[in-house]
Structure 1
């Protein structure tokens, strides 16, 4: 069933559903600054053009969100211990509550990972979900990411 999952580029008409997802309890628990996320996708062609934003679709229906970016562009302290050249990070969510626990998040992580590793300059992907976000952590482990206990990040080498 999850093979019907795909990523497509975020478009302006996706903004209303994205805003709705950010209000849902299972999302806002992890995405605590919704106005920042909304600004990011709204300004994706200018200020945040260094981030590539997607809608996760299942059978052509939007069910979630994903994005990737070069860590060098983000300058995030949590990844400063990792060589920055060739390092990417991802964010993702399943917004539709009835789509949780069905492997769609795992498939979205797989598609984002494949997309990044298809880029000539990519060497690794690092992700730092909240430890309590078991679904996210399980999706990463299922896709071959390794948890670095010292730094609290998941990492996958190309």
Structure 2
């Protein structure tokens, strides 16, 4: 049984890159995450060109078990991407600090199908709330049923294929 309160996110640092690299080679991750080199480039340029992307390593009981990120979609819509048309998804976003995209993976197989993805989404949402975001977006492949279920359980709704959103309400 996984104690969800023991799951935490820590900013990705250089020492984490080899482990992230290893996770990207796993077949069950590769089919959803696309080109490994693109991800590694974003990570390596996280203090430069891609400083708007916020990367984290997911820990359970002080063990690295996964990866996640969030980013302000205002900056994504102008990226020239061959594989991913952010302009189509986020072209209507006209202000900073409004819509944030999230992404996540569980890199250690023994932690799959234990509700950890759902908890990662909650932790990312908490971070986005802290900075005043108004909407959260995720763009899973429609074949990634497990990820879609985790999003739906966290209150996301389907806007269109590969576009799931959640409006953040502040009391």
- Shorter chain as denominator, the TM-score bin is over 0.9
1:118 aligns with 2:118: no
Residue 82 of structure 1: CA displacement?
A: 4.3
Separation in 2 of the partners of 1:152 and 1:27?
Answer: 17
1:134 aligns with 2:145: yes
1:35 is matched with which residue? 37
Residue 81 of structure 1: CA displacement?
A: 5.5
Change (3 A) 1:147 1:14: same
Aligned length: 156
SS at match of 2:32: coil
Separation in 1 of the partners of 2:57 and 2:14?
Answer: 11
8 Å contact from structure 1 (residues 106, 143) kept in 2 = yes
2:66 is matched with which residue? 64
8 Å contact from structure 1 (residues 147, 154) kept in 2 = yes
**Structure with more relative contact order (C-alpha pairs < 8 Å, separation 6 or more):** 1
SS at match of 2:50: coil
2:165 is matched with which residue? 155
Change (3 A) 1:32 1:83: closer
Residue 43 of structure 1: CA displacement?
A: 1.2
TM-score by length of 1: 0.93
Separation in 1 of the partners of 2:145 and 2:124?
Answer: 19
8 Å contact from structure 2 (residues 76, 90) kept in 1 = no
| Off by >4 Å, runs of 4+ in structure 1 | none
SS at match of 1:92: strand
TM-score by length of 2: 0.87
- CA-atom RMSD in angstroms: 1.3
Q: Which runs of 5+ in 1 are unaligned?
A: none
Change (3 A) 1:82 1:113: farther
1:14 is matched with which residue? 16
Residue 63 of structure 1: CA displacement?
A: 0.6
Q: Which runs of 5+ in 2 are unaligned?
A: 78-85
